[in-house]
Structure 1
């Protein structure tokens, strides 16, 4: 009889969901499966020019069922289903959705199936910029600083800004909405057969970093904070949550319905969910004062520190500091960049325009050949750009870029900001522009490290996980050179899912603490990028130019917004 115990870690990313079955004895991956969201791939319910990015709950459900069944089928271990003891989930965030009293997302109810406002509002959706600005202005009126644990600035990427925007934008959704739920809270609720939104176990991670929950406030800010911001928010605090749960706790057991659908037992324990970066930091074997950078479409930067060592210290301009959001009993601090891999994807898309718009419609070759050529070239663009950019001669006057193509997350959230490229000349070719964009993303990372250090929180090293960390030696070496510190790259392919598996093992009581699960199930690091001292002077000079360019763009943005506000005020007075 096989006495080995297994768990499943599920990682919901921006484009896909991946599940892994992990051996709890040593963290070895038994099998994995990735499912790309079908509706999302078609661009449904999204409008990039409006910063609207929505995802249908059916994409999440279909991916959940497919990847778990696929993992079990691929495992090659007889009767493995009976040896699976726990499941835990991480998701992007803040990615909330409107639900009815039963906790069902409105997009799964009659009349709302195709309504984007009834769907999950993806983390990078910035339709709530106006609402975030109003929250920041409103919070300044209160004696208690309710933004103190989220870096002092509320972002349009977060819970309350998105809720208020949806309530204002859609009367039908507003009338049908009972509560507002994070993706990482809904999946465990779904798997455990929840039927009452008020009984949903809310993640400490999500609530503390994005929804203004704090131990000092005994929960959320008071009702008057929200109702005086906008009467549409009246009553929501009561229908949300007071208590939160760390991810080493159980959200319940697998329901009979889902046990039957997945071929598992109702004895399987479902852990409380959390955000991908926070569980990824655990999977990446984070250490105190080491910054774990989860590098994908965006970055999320996680640092943990003993609570008593940072007692009373608040870091301004980050995405919050929450006791237990990463490792229970330890302070978790979050920062990040709104666009990282998305910057390279944007440039790739620009370069691919002739392929998708001209070659796709050519009559010189058959459609199958054209499609194959497009796919081959697109798959090689970033690799070839990286190789050619690495061979470019160093220059003090090289092209310079800002990485704010999707606004700025940290330090000091401002989703109104835009990207920029300067120093262009007739010799500026694709590799040179790519180099500038790569430098910009690394300079954005440095600005985060500098903020932590300036606020008295040391950064002793960097741990890299995620797609860019694993696949781009060029960018990782550049980042090590710019940060002037080594970067260790974690070995596990799906590190966020491994972190979820570690929490699943803890929730299922296979390990008493997540720290012990990390030791037993951690798989170590595959390589380290050491900084090149010879490049220190060049990058320091470029970074100074980056900050100057950023300051100029911020001034221009503020002036534009001020002019726009004055014009709107004048129009209102005329009416």
Structure 2
């Protein structure tokens, strides 16, 4: 006899979707399943050299069905499926898509099925850099500061810059696009059988942090803010939304169609969606004034504080501060780095180039052996680099790097910036360069902590979440040394999906508030790294160098993107 209640958390990442089936009484993970997006794995619809990263909605839909059904299959007992009470979803963001009036992504229509502009524009797509710059300049013309709650700088990674770029780029998509929808809002709409986009429940998380929604504005900025920027945006605000919802609320019940597809009942409550790092912070048992760092391909750094204590403080250069975006009733503040694990992955690709491009041509080993060697080395290269880099002595004159390999998210978004590796010599080898790259990502993380502290929202502790936090003691120890603060590592390897499960339990009424779900379902911490005081002073000196070199690179980048004057032309020539 099944006595317990169960919930499902669905976590959409950059490369895959993962679902977990969880006992809502104690947080026990019953089953989990992951599905790697097949079209994304093939590199379809993406042009990395142009910073274009698009994902087909079929990757999302197929993964949703596969992972939930696989979880139920792993559970074994058919009675568990009948005891599932809720589903909640988190996604990357801002990852929006053009939809028609029914809320159907255009790429699901035959005429747009292979058009990247009709697909979801992934968070790290930077094709809207020019549009973001225009939005920032345009906002200065208004008496009301419509960027005040997103750190004062609008990013190309966000909602409006992406919409404007797509509408300008593709006439057919522009004519067919009725509205613009975040991934985290569309999946609950899909599961509940929505067929009118005006009825879609939009989460305050995505709306406040990426879409310029704020209670102070009565919703989104007024229509004339957008039409005076570009008439192509005419009519969009009235076809978007005014109201928003926190993720402890229900988007609706599972539709008959999806209940049949998944093997569940229509009694299942579907929660309002949010971004992965926001739900991940809840799954990682975030505490007030503790920076919860979700560390994967990029980082998202989340902080909550009592609204009455934040008062009118506005932290400049972050990804926004929104009441209820993480924990309902508390101020949610978001920051992050555009490349973290992606920086290490880039270096790995550089080192793997000979293996992947030359070994397949070898006359010495068979193709099967070549493939086996490539896979073995690919699996071991980062762990071995970490081991050897950790054994190196620390010196103020070591190789040095700037971590803006995918631009800079925070503080002060600037996606035009580039990474750099400095201080190279003939003695520089792979472990030394890798060490410099890791240090740079840790310095980038410290810049965020410093900004919170400087703006009057103190960071009192660090919580590490995600794959990098769990798998790399070398990186986490360096993080503690650079920050000169301890960092606790959460036990769960699936904090985003577990956080979604906690919200599912709350939306379904099993818990009255998400804090109660966190207390009952949280898995706790299994590691803590403390600063090595012998290294703290050396890193402090190198951090000052990082800031100075970063400023120089930023100035060079600005000069490179400025109009060339006659004097500059002479210098160039």
Both structures adopt the same fold (TM-score exceeding 0.5) = yes
| CA displacement, residues 266-317 of structure 1 (integer Å, 9 cap, x when unaligned) | 1000000000000000000000000000000000000000000011110000
1:395: Cα distance to partner?
1.4
SS at match of 1:418: coil
Match of 1:368 in 2: 368
What SS is found at the alignment partner of 1:79?
Answer: helix
Q: What is residue 54 of structure 1 aligned with on the other side? A: 54
For residue 219 of structure 1, report the CA deviation from its aligned partner. 0.2
- Equivalent position of 1:573 in the other structure: none
Count of residues paired in the alignment: 567
What's the CA shift for 1:414?
0.2
Matches within 5 A, 1:533-572: 533-563=533-563
Do the aligned partners of 1:463 and 1:489 also contact (CA within 8 Å) in 2?
A: yes
TM-score (norm 2): 0.98
1:360 touches 1:374 (CA, 8 Å); kept in 2?
no
Is the contact between residue 394 and residue 535 of structure 2 (CA under 8 Å) also seen in structure 1? no
Aligned equivalents of 2:414 and 2:518: distance in 1? Answer: 35
1:2, distance to aligned residue in structure 2 (A) = 1.1
Indicate the residue corresponding to 1:286 in structure 2. 286
Equivalent residues in 2 for 1:127-526, closer than 5 Å = 127-526=127-526
Q: Is the 8 A contact 2:25 2:521 kept in 1?
A: yes
**Matches of residues 13-92 of structure 1 in structure 2 within 5 Å?**
13-92=13-92
SS of the counterpart of 1:551?
Answer: helix
Per the TM alignment, residue 3 of structure 1 is displaced from its structure 2 partner at its CA by 1.4
Deviation beyond 2 Å, 4+ runs, structure 1: none
Distance 2:43 2:518 in 1: 38
1:331-379 deviations in Å (ceiling 9; x for gaps): 0000000000000000000000001100122222221111111000010
Cα distance in 1 for partners of 2:456, 2:363 equals: 63
What is the root-mean-square deviation of aligned Cα atoms in Å?
0.9
Q: What CA distance in whole angstroms lies between the structure 1 residues aligned with 2:143 and 2:509?
A: 43
| SS of aligned partner of 2:112 | coil
Find the residue that maps to 1:363 and give its secondary structure: coil
Structure-1-length-normalised TM-score: 0.98
Q: CA deviation at 1:534?
A: 1.0
Deviations 1:87-143 (A, max 9, x none): 000000000000000000000012100000000000000000000000000000000
Superimposed CA distance per residue, residues 11-61 of structure 1 (whole angstroms, 9 cap, x where no aligned partner): 000000000001111111001001110000111100111000000000001
Q: Distance in 2 between matches of 1:362 and 1:219?
A: 62
How far did residue 493 of structure 1 move? 1.4
Shift of 1:393: 1.5
Q: Which residue of 2 is the match for residue 120 of structure 1?
A: 120
- Separation of aligned partners in 2, 1:211 and 1:537: 41
Q: Deviations over 1:63-110 (max 9, x none)?
A: 101100111111133421001000000000000000000000000012
* In structure 1, distance between residues paired with 2:559 and 2:512: 55
Question: Does 1:12 pair with 2:17?
Answer: no
- How far is the alpha carbon of 1:396 from its aligned partner? 1.2
Q: How far apart are 1:563 and its partner, in Å?
A: 3.2
| 3-state DSSP of counterpart to 2:8 | strand
The answer for the alignment partner of 1:106 in structure 2 is 106
Unaligned runs of 5+ in 2: none
- Matched residue SS, 2:110: coil
